[in-house]
């Protein structure tokens, strides 16, 4: 075979390989989610990866009582707040924070950390902007972790973290 034909064959093979679709990657089990809410001129946006229960016992087992945990998967959940707000009566300055939780059966501590963006482990101790307590309540089963705003009224809103049958409410007020 002469060199000209070899070059043409190699060029044809390379062109064929270039035109073939790339191998599709399997989707991540924890899909990305975003939720935003406007409250009296303040925009609140939460970005997170949504873990799935898949029949597992969640709180007290997969997520241990008394240990700081990031309510999400992969990268830490972030919350961006466009103006100063009050969360469960405590002031939080406008900014972007990673969101963490220390669950207990009857009371949760929700932590807003100045460390962002960060991976969901380990917890970036010493970076807290705010810690608030929240009383969990029982809800319908939510297979995939969700944050949502079930009530918005004037300058007030409720933001909840919901996974499995656990609903953790936070009261938000725009001053």
Q: What is residue 91's predicted lDDT score, i.e. its pLDDT?
A: 98
pLDDT tens sequence across 97-134: 999 999 999 999 999 999 887 766 777 788 899 999 99
Q: What is residue 123's predicted lDDT score, i.e. its pLDDT?
A: 73
Angstrom distances, CA of residue 23 to CA of 28, 138, 159:
15, 43, 40
User: Would you write out the chain's pLDDT as a tens digit for each of its 175 residues?
Assistant: 565 554 554 555 544 445 555 556 666 668 889 999 999 999 999 999 999 999 999 999 999 999 999 999 888 999 999 999 999 999 999 999 999 999 999 999 999 999 887 766 777 788 899 999 999 999 999 999 999 999 999 999 999 999 999 999 999 999 9
User: Running DSSP on this structure, what letter comes out for residue 105?
Assistant: S
CB-based contacts of 95, cutoff 8 Å, min separation 6 = 80, 81, 114, 129
Residue 124 in tokens: 């970036």
- Using a cut of 0.85, tell me whether the model's pTM lies above it: no
Instruction: Please indicate, yes or no, if residue 129 is contained in any of the structural domains.
Output: yes
Instruction: Please indicate, yes or no, if residue 1 is contained in any of the structural domains.
Output: no
User: What SS3 class is residue 11?
Assistant: helix
User: What SS3 class is residue 156?
Assistant: strand
Q: What is residue 126's predicted lDDT score, i.e. its pLDDT?
A: 86
Q: What is residue 29's predicted lDDT score, i.e. its pLDDT?
A: 67
Q: What is residue 108's predicted lDDT score, i.e. its pLDDT?
A: 97
Instruction: Please indicate, yes or no, if residue 2 is contained in any of the structural domains.
Output: no
The DSSP result for 39-105, as a single string, is: ETTEEEEEEEEE-B-TT--TBTTTB-TTS-B-SSSSBPPEEEESS-EEETTEEE-SEEEEEEEE--S
What does the longest C-alpha to C-alpha distance in the chain come to? 82
Instruction: Please indicate, yes or no, if residue 47 is contained in any of the structural domains.
Output: yes
Which structural domain, as residue segments, surrounds residue 137?
Answer: 29-173
The total number of structural domains that make up the chain: 1
Instruction: Please indicate, yes or no, if residue 15 is contained in any of the structural domains.
Output: no
Instruction: Please indicate, yes or no, if residue 88 is contained in any of the structural domains.
Output: yes
Instruction: Please indicate, yes or no, if residue 65 is contained in any of the structural domains.
Output: yes
The C-alpha angle 103, 104, 106, rounded to 5 degrees, equals 125
Instruction: Please indicate, yes or no, if residue 153 is contained in any of the structural domains.
Output: yes
């Amino acid at each position: 075979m002469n060199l000209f034909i070899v070059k043409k064959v190699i060029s044809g093979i390379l062109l064929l390989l270039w035109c073939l679709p790339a191998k599709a990657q399997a989707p991540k089990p924890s899909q990305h989610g975003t939720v935003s809410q406007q409250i009296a001129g303040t925009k609140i946006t939460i970005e997170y990866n949504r873990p799935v229960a898949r029949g597992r016992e969640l709180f007290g087992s997969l997520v241990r009582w008394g240990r700081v945990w990031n309510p999400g998967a992969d990268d830490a959940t972030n919350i961006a707040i466009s103006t100063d707000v009050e969360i469960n009566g405590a002031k939080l300055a406008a900014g972007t924070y990673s969101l963490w939780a220390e669950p207990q059966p009857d009371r949760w501590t929700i932590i807003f950390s100045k460390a962002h963006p960060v991976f969901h482990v380990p917890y970036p101790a010493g970076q807290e902007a705010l810690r608030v307590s929240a009383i969990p309540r029982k809800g319908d089963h939510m297979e995939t972790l969700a944050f949502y705003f079930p009530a918005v009224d004037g300058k007030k809103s409720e933001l909840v973290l919901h996974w499995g049958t656990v609903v953790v409410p936070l009261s938000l007020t725009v001053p």
